[in-house]
């Protein structure tokens, strides 16, 4: 889908918020691409992010599902606004086994108050990307007073 951002500054807005999230640094996550209604984040594999079998922990995958959906939504929100996740749902489709976790979130409905997104998570092994999780999220715009 094609969306018009409400501010030309949408890319900076997302990048600044991402930078303030210390947890992204903890995960080693990189903000790779932001377009109106779309966001892509990468997380290189690290032992510190694993579950009992040595794969990406479902919590890491869920974090990136949430953040790609959230920033896809945030890219369409007003200049002076903040964003909160209302809820999300995530299905795990195959083990999170790979050298890189790639998350892509996109807006499917941009409303006045609420935005609905889908996110897809891939694990990259060599040149192959495999879908490992797919989710759907509801986000709400918070109008800042300043």
Decide: is 108 part of the binding site for a second copy (CB under 8 A).
Answer: yes
Of 96, 16, 93, nearest to 59 by C-alpha is 96
User: How far is C-alpha 134 from the chain's CA centre?
Assistant: 12
For the chain, state the CA radius of gyration. Answer: 15
Decide: is 85 part of the binding site for a second copy (CB under 8 A).
Answer: yes
Decide: is 140 part of the binding site for a second copy (CB under 8 A).
Answer: yes
d(C-alpha 48, C-alpha 56), whole Å: 9
Pick the binder of a second copy from 35, 57, 97, 124 (CB under 8 A): 57
Which residues of the chain form contacts with a second copy (CB under 8 A)? 17, 20-23, 25-27, 47-53, 57-60, 62-64, 66-67, 70, 82, 84-94, 108-109, 111, 113-114, 116, 118, 131, 134-136, 138, 140
């Amino acid at each position: 889908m094609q969306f018009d951002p409400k501010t030309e500054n949408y890319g900076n807005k997302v990048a600044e918020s991402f930078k303030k999230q210390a947890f992204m640094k903890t995960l080693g996550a990189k903000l790779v691409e932001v377009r109106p209604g779309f966001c892509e984040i990468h997380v290189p594999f690290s032992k510190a992010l694993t579950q009992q079998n040595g794969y990406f922990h479902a919590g890491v995958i869920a974090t990136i599902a949430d953040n790609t959906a959230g920033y896809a939504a945030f890219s369409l929100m007003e200049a002076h606004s903040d964003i909160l996740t209302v809820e999300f749902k995530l299905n795990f489709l195959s083990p999170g086994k790979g050298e890189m976790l790639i998350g892509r979130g996109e807006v499917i409905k941009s409303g006045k108050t609420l935005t609905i997104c889908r996110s897809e998570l891939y694990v990259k092994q060599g040149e192959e990307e495999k879908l490992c999780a797919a989710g759907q999220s509801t986000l709400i715009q918070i109008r800042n007073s300043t």
